Chain A
Amino acid sequence: MVDFSLAEVEPPTIEVATGRENGPVTLGGSWNLRGLCSASPDWCEKLTACAKDVSAEWDLRNIGALDSAGSFILWQAWGARLPEQIRLRAEHEALFSRWEQRPVPKLQPAPRRSRPFLIPLHRALSAFLEHVLELVSLLGRFVLDLGYLMRRPRDIPWRELSATIHKTGSQALVITALVGFLIGTVLSYLSALQLKEFGAQSYIVNILGLSIIRELGPMLSAILVAGRSGSAITAGIGVMRVTEELDALAALGVSHSLRLVLPKVLALMIVLPLLIVWTDVAALIGGASSAMLTLDIGYHPFFLKLPNAVPVVNFTIGLAKGSVFGLCIALIACHFGFRIEPNTESLGRETTRSVVTSITTVILADALFGIVFRNVGMP
């Protein structure tokens, strides 16, 4: 009989007759899932305590509603059998009798394995080496694909390349300009406070120019692109794994590296230097604006002095960094994208790893640039 009411059901009750040995235990109320959810917290302990007495007499005739969940819980409490002395309604008998014929599986607890200290360390090292090997092989594949496309320019995936340039470049212009402008302003303001102390106001151009063009511009753009586009690339490839689009491409004989990896890597190698120029300009305008307000240095003298204060090779180093950072971000994003398994947890985990690894790699690569070019472009 279907209950049409949405109201709370009567909770299950357990009454044990006092003054008489061996019961009877009288059950009432609703012994269905809805009833059990609204039962008092101690009903389970009470039931187990009553069921321990194997000779107890049970009276189930006052039960209002009984479903398979309720009957199963009672059956389990009685030790997978009906008590010897039980009174129940005819329509409820079938609910218990089904458990006699049906074996219910028992979960096996997972064996506890001891974990010596060195095993996690070994695993972490192996995983790191695996990542490095896969990344190197992805880079190798990219170089081979480039060679292939030079021989067959008709196969260059122009559409994917153009779409990626638009998504990672054009659509990032506003955010990179805003961040660049604000950082330039703050840097200029804080430097101006110090320079005023020494009467070296005119050096604001040298400090801002060198730091922004050589270091901050490339780093800011790369970190923004890693967070914005790197995560999108990883998640995009991951969703393609989940929806079996990667398998469909493979089945159609379309190379993943040529169609998915190469356009993204090439696009970021082109886009990031351009974004760096854009961010540099925004940051320098921000810096110049702040210098004008705090040090009374106008835009004209600021930008007139800039080429003399910062050798042009710094600009070239910034652009070179952009291409290398773009290569690193795109390769890492694709690598983690292909590692995503067809489940939601893996999607989130690998996307986070991708962004963290990209930013860390960009910082490491920047440090490497700093060491290699330590004698180049310094005034």
Chain B
Amino acid sequence: MPADESRLVADLRAGRREAFDRMVELHYDRLHRLACTMTGQSEDAADLVQETFLAAMKSAGNFRGEARLTTWLIAICRNQYTLHLRGRRKWRHASLEAAGNARAPEPAPAIRPEVVQILERVHRLPEELRTALVLFYLEGMRYQEIAESMECPVGTIRSRLFEARERLKRMMEGDRP
């Protein structure tokens, strides 16, 4: 683990507020992207990320720093998502106005139809395959890093990525007229 991250983990474990700020700042984008592909909805994704950070804060004292912070957060995010699927987490959204925040959401940029299609197909993949795919393509993680995040052997990640692409291909072929 790099020295900067070791310091950050030590501060998190000590419950320092600046450390939580820094963690959010460093990892929000990454988790949000992953969460978007898990939930399929930007709003749900934001909630999932928030649940993840809350859970991370709660268990920071138990984080021994053996894995990378990213790896740990991704594992938490996946757990939170699983809890949600099992109906044990209900995300409730409040309007921005209700929260007293004046900043309105920016309109989503136009997304090409083929991008929308691939997103839909990615979302139809089982969670294990989808997460491996997203961590590889969006986060640029190596097999080893993905394996640590998903707590499985490297060979499994290789198989999952292979399977994910095969399924995507089959879906696309099935879509052809």
Say whether A associates with B. Answer: no
